[in-house]
Amino acid sequence: MSQPLVPPIDRPVDLAEYGPDYTGDLDKDAAREEIERLRVRLDELQNALYADRRYALLVVFQGIDTSGKDSTINSVFRAAGPIGTAVVSFGVPNEEELAHDYLWRYHAKMPRRGFVTVFNRSHYEAVVVERVKGIVGADLWRRRYDEINAFEQYLAAQGTVIAKFFLHISKDEQRERLQERIDTPHKRWKFHLSDLEERKRWDDYQAAYADMLTYCNTRDAPWHIIPANRKWSRDVFVARALVERLERMDLRYPEPGKDLDGIVAE
């Protein structure tokens, strides 16, 4: 059974329809071979984007704790050149960020034309974490869907291509990954007791993510729901989508200022 990774724009998202164990046409061996090819192709396209300088690419990753945002970024962008590619991780806002509107700190980190910027968490924290934890009221976080859509529409009009990925794991998979962090000495630094308190809000987070995927899934900035229980297929799904999107941008290397035929470097 096939599973569309891009949810339809015209109806609500029900995450129960998207199996986090789905691996599509892949097995581990096929995935290992394909991800290597996709990494190389992604590097080629990133280089063309850097030379072209007409567009920027913003890649957004969202997902519940342990969904694999860090490891996905590390895997998919492993071959991407460091010039022209940046990863930005957003934690708790600092004093300066809190003194501005909630989109300010994200806008300040947007990629310039020719560059790729990857957001590990993003402006969607304003309609997920702040909603679930009651940091803002319902009247405010509901209004933010339209504000975020307008923000992304503006970015797209300025030449920023937006690719958004929700890493979808099951509750059982999260439990296993949390336990692995507890049981593995070199991974314990990733674990906090508050992670267990957050896990008690699983259903609240799932509802917030479903609304995020429903109300902020637009033609300018569509969401991809990535089945993420299996890391080897997860990475291929993300890399496929990025390569496909970059290839549709018709990237071009600029023409040289002069005819170089016949010139010999001594």
**Chain segment 214-258, per-residue pLDDT in tens:** 999 999 999 999 999 999 999 999 999 999 999 999 999 988 777
Q: Kindly list the structural domains of the chain, giving each domain's residue range(s) and its CATH number in brackets, ordered by start.
A: 15-247 (3.40.50.300)
Element (H, E) at 60: strand 56-62
Q: Which residues of 216-238 are buried (b: 16+ CB within 10 A; e: fewer)?
A: bbbeebbbbbbbbbbebbbbbbb
C-alpha R_g of the chain: 20
Q: What is the pLDDT of residue 3?
A: 60
Looking at per-residue confidence, does 261 or 65 come out higher? 65
pLDDT digits (tens, 9 = 90+) for 128-162: 999 999 999 999 999 999 999 999 999 999 999 99
* Integer Cα distance of 264 and 75 in angstroms: 40
Q: What is the pTM of this model?
A: 0.94
What pLDDT score does 169 carry?
98
Residue with tokens 């519940």, as numbered in its chain: 64
What local confidence, expressed as pLDDT, does residue 266 receive? 81
CB-CB neighbours of 155 under 10 Å: 19
Q: Give mean pLDDT, residues 14-39.
A: 95
> Angle, nearest 10°, between helix axes 138-157 and 202-215?
40
Residue type, 261: D
Q: Look at residue 53 and tell me whether its pLDDT is greater than 50.
A: yes
The separation between CA 121 and the C-alpha centre of its own chain, rounded to angstroms, equals 8
What confidence score (pLDDT) does residue 255 get? 83
Confidence check: pLDDT of 181 > 50:
yes
Q: What is the DSSP string of 244-260?
A: HHHHTT---PPPPSS--
117: CB partners within 8 A, 6+ apart = 56, 57, 58, 59, 85, 86, 87, 88, 109, 110, 111
- Identify the weakest region by mean pLDDT among 2-16, 127-141, 164-178, 190-204: 2-16
Residues facing residue 56 across a β-bridge: 160
- Give the chain's mean pLDDT: 94
Is the alpha carbon torsion for 41, 251, 83, 65 positive or negative?
Answer: negative
User: Six-digit token pair at 139?
Assistant: 């009247």
pLDDT tens by residue, 191-207 = 999 999 999 999 999 99
Residue 55 has pLDDT above 50, yes or no: yes
Q: Which 3 state secondary structure label does DSSP give 165?
A: strand
CB 227 within 8 A of CB 18: yes
Alpha helical stretches, state H, the chain = 28-52, 69-76, 95-98, 104-107, 129-132, 138-157, 171-183, 193-199, 202-215, 231-247
